[in-house]
Amino acid sequence: MTKGRPFLEVFASCLKEDYRFPILEAFAFLYVLGTFIAAGLGAIGAIRSARMESFAFNLATVSMELPLLVLVILILKNIAYGLGSDLERGVIQTLLSYPLKRRLILAAKLLSALVIALLLFLGIHAFALFLLAPDVIIAQFNVISLTYAAAISPILLLTGLALLSALLLKRGAIALVIGIIMYFALETAAGLVMFFTYATGSELALKVYGVISPSLLLHVRYAERLPFAPPREIWTPSLPEILLYIGAGYLVVALIFAIGFLYFERRLGV
């Protein structure tokens, strides 16, 4: 048996479990529907800007809101509930019986549960975005790419935390609830951070939250009128600073996943 065959078998098994019919088809349809609904509601026309880079950012952000929520649901279903339930019911023992190191088994699970979900989201949304405004996408490809990188960072952070919850609790339903709570906590925190920043004039909260969710920094830079914003000037990050915050966010994500791999390989009692 070749070295790669057991890994592919585990990966195929995870794919079959994560994307049973009609899960893949349903989520692909929701990505398309969510993107075009955002455009069809008139949000895109309402945010046209004199600055092309601001319009490109707003176009990507508004059309991405519903598909990102669908992505979160799919990932939490695969990792928080799926992996947690496998640990709870002892199904993980079947995967551990393969002649593979534990870290490779977890890598196969994450490749199926997370990477395939991300590729599905990026491929469908980027193509739909190109259909909506091909001239904008081509001219402002760097802004669009930056928007994707900033938007995916907190999703990966949430995924890493959901993974740790599933591994520690070994309960799919509880891990799923925790994942949902963390998602809405991250969403709520953005508004609180902006309120605190405008109320105090201090950018400390904005900078700290910028590591967790760099998208907020892009909003500050590109949005010409922030919602509920008083006429007070606040710190506006430069592009190099935004790249630095995005990089820091991905380093935090990498650390959380590294902890998950170490725990799965050395401390998980199954």
User: What confidence tens digit (pLDDT) does each residue in 57-90 have?
Assistant: 888 888 898 999 999 999 999 999 999 999 999 8
In the predicted model, what is the mean pLDDT of residues 17-40?
87
Whole-number average pLDDT of the chain: 88
Output the pLDDT for position 7: 93
Give start and end residues of each alpha helix (H) in 170-203.
Answer: 172-200
0.85 exceeded by pTM: yes
Output the pLDDT for position 39: 66
For residues 90 and 29, give the distance between their C-alpha atoms in angstroms, rounded to a whole number. 33
Q: What is the chain's alpha carbon radius of gyration, rounded to the nearest angstrom?
A: 20
> Residue holding tokens 């998950």?
260
Cβ atoms of 248 and 212 closer than 8 Å:
no
For residues 228 and 254, give the distance between their C-alpha atoms in angstroms, rounded to a whole number. 34
Residues with Cβ within 8 Å of residue 42, at least 6 apart in sequence: none
Output the pLDDT for position 169: 94
Least confident of 53-62, 119-128, 219-228, 234-243: 219-228
**pLDDT confidence band for 47 (50 / 70 / 90):** low
In the predicted model, what is the mean pLDDT of residues 224-229?
50
Q: Measuring CA to CA, which residue among 34, 56, 59, 247 is closest to residue 153?
A: 247
The residue ranges of every structural domain in the chain are 4-267
Q: What is the pLDDT of residues 247-260, one digit of tens each?
A: 999 999 999 999 99
Amino acid making up residue 237: P
Output the pLDDT for position 58: 85
Count of Cβ atoms closer than 10 Å to residue 108 Cβ = 23
Count of Cβ atoms closer than 10 Å to residue 207 Cβ = 16
Q: What is the pLDDT of residues 155-179, one digit of tens each?
A: 999 999 999 999 999 999 999 999 9
Cβ atoms of 78 and 166 closer than 8 Å:
no
Output the pLDDT for position 45: 52
Whether the per-residue pLDDT at 42 is higher than 60: the answer is no
Burial (CB count <10 Å: 0-12, 13-18, 19+), residue 146: buried
In the predicted model, what is the mean pLDDT of residues 137-148?
93
Output the pLDDT for position 46: 46
Output the pLDDT for position 120: 95
Q: What is the pLDDT of residues 92-132, one digit of tens each?
A: 988 989 999 999 999 999 999 999 999 999 999 999 888 88
